[in-house]
Amino acid sequence: MSNTAEYVPTVGEGVLQAVRGELAKKEQVQKKHYFMLNELQKMARELPMQYQQRMPYDLLSSLANALLDGTVYEIVRSLKEVQQLEERNLFQQRMNIVNEHKAIKKDLQRKQKEALQHCQMAKPHQLPYLQVQQERDFQTMEKKYEDELKRKDMKIILELDQKVMDQQVTLEKSGVPGFFVTNKPTEIKLQMHLLEFINRMSVMSMPL
């Protein structure tokens, strides 16, 4: 029978504290993830059934995990600011065109009124012909400006669509679940709901 004492390894107090700290940190992360997942599931239940069915547990769990360090909040906030700035810029461009058209039409109406008054005094027999011509000129101008505004609106829609695609690319590259490049209305609407969830989570108090 051996008298050799059994070797019992000793662990320094510093190592124990580090291990305890790491375990506490993991527990806190798990607690935070569970809270966020629960809140995301509540939000998903508020949506119409067609979107609820497209938000399974795995998607919401992955999203909760992506939100843990707060980086995604900053990315979404930055994208939102850029989008709002772009939308204001496009709206202002459209308003500039509308106001320019209004000013030109107003000026034409003034000139036509003066021409009618002059014709009535100098050549009253030509008044009906002048009125027909002026009406034709005004309608031609109205059609021209209507077409110009439609072209501008189409350009705005295309630019906004491109902005959506840029956001999809950024969010997909950032590893945010549920985001990928698509132009399908249902998928875009689903991504808009996910963005709303992220914005709501960003202002929510997290458990300590």
pLDDT in tens, 12-32: 667 667 666 677 678 888 999
Query: If you average pLDDT over residues 126-148, what whole number do you get?
Result: 95
Measured distance CA(55)–CA(202) in Å, rounded: 19
Please give the share of the chain, as a percent, with pLDDT higher than 90. 79
Q: Closest Cα to residue 156, out of 96, 77, 79, 104? A: 96
Domain segments of the chain: what residues?
79-176
| Burial track 96-132 (b if 16+ CB lie within 10 A, e otherwise) | ebeeebeeeeeeeeeebeeeeeebeeeeeeeeeebee
pLDDT of residue 117: 93
What are the tens digits of pLDDT across the range 54-113?
Answer: 999 999 999 999 999 999 999 999 999 999 999 999 999 999 999 999 999 999 999 999
Measured distance CA(128)–CA(131) in Å, rounded: 5
8 Å CB contact between 170 and 182: no
Measured distance CA(42)–CA(130) in Å, rounded: 69
pLDDT of 34 over the 80 cut: yes
Measured distance CA(179)–CA(191) in Å, rounded: 6
DSSP, collapsed to helix, strand or coil, labels residue 53 as coil
Q: How far is CA 26 from the centre of its chain?
A: 34
8 Å CB contact between 14 and 22: no
Backbone angles phi, psi at 68, to 5 degrees: -60, -40
